[in-house]
């Protein structure tokens, strides 16, 4: 699913560049950027999981961090890793940061959707016990029917978010707005969907009724609102 997600993201990014005038980004730059984004995402996702979701285990067995086949990847860590890798490439190649992120970020929900479908196929990250007609029994969740929360997340964080961003990118007011909207909407969609999802066994709820994923998502949404409603307008005024 990771591979399919990156292929879809790359293809849609190249399609946007062919469709109309680009933001000063060449295809060669995009090729290099995606290579490092893949590395940054995988490393960040693994380190993020170790740091936020199972720190006590990995601090005792640090070599387990390298054993990715044992499972354990964090979206928020992956986003941070991809962002750091992207910033490095953007600076080295002197690319326009906000325009470049706006070019790539609308394609990210496709990878998110595929990732959640992968969770569903694996029968992992399932939901709370439920009595709704579409509740499902997951092999790892015992005999109790549960919310297929992976499908909820695939729909909202993936399909719905993709549709919104894909059309919003042509109507944005300023560069960077699409990236900010991604942070805001993903944060709220993830927070909503996680009310139906069973929290990680080793963590449970970490702040009242909120899971670690919800806390990180709310922080993510807050950063997005800061960028969209203060920082980016401020930078535009400075340019004028």
pLDDT at 240: 62
Q: Which residues of the chain have pLDDT under 70?
A: 20-23, 240
Distance of alpha carbon 110 from alpha carbon 108, whole angstroms: 5
pLDDT at 20: 65
Domain ranges of the chain: 2-233
Q: Is the distance from CB of 43 to CB of 18 less than 8 angstroms? A: no
Distances (CA, A) of 110 to 23, 40, 161, 165, 181: 22, 18, 9, 11, 16
Distance of alpha carbon 155 from alpha carbon 222, whole angstroms: 22
pLDDT at 23: 65
């Amino acid at each position: 699913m990771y591979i399919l997600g990156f292929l879809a993201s790359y293809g849609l990014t190249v399609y946007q560049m062919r469709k109309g005038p680009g933001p000063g980004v060449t295809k060669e730059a995009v090729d290099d950027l995606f290579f490092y984004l893949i590395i940054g995402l995988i490393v960040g996702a693994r380190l993020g999981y170790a740091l936020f979701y199972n720190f006590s285990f990995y601090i005792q067995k640090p070599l387990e961090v390298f054993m990715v086949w044992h499972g354990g990847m964090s979206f928020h860590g992956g986003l941070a890793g991809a962002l750091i890798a992207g910033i490095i490439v953007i600076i080295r190649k002197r690319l326009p940061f906000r325009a470049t992120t706006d070019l790539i970020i609308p394609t990210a929900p496709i990878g998110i959707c595929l990732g959640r479908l992968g969770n569903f196929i694996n029968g992992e990250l399932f939901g709370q016990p439920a009595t709704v007609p579409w509740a499902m029994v997951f092999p790892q969740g015992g005999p109790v029917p549960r919310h297929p929360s992976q499908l909820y997340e695939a729909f909202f964080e993936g399909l719905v978010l993709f549709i919104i961003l894909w059309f919003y990118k042509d109507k944005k007011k300023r560069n960077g707005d699409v990236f900010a909207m991604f942070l805001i909407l993903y944060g709220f969609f993830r927070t909503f969907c996680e009310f139906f999802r069973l929290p990680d066994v080793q963590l449970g709820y970490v702040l009242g009724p909120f899971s670690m994923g919800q806390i990180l998502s709310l922080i993510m949404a807050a950063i997005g609102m800061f960028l969209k409603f203060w920082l980016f307008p401020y930078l535009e005024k400075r340019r004028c």
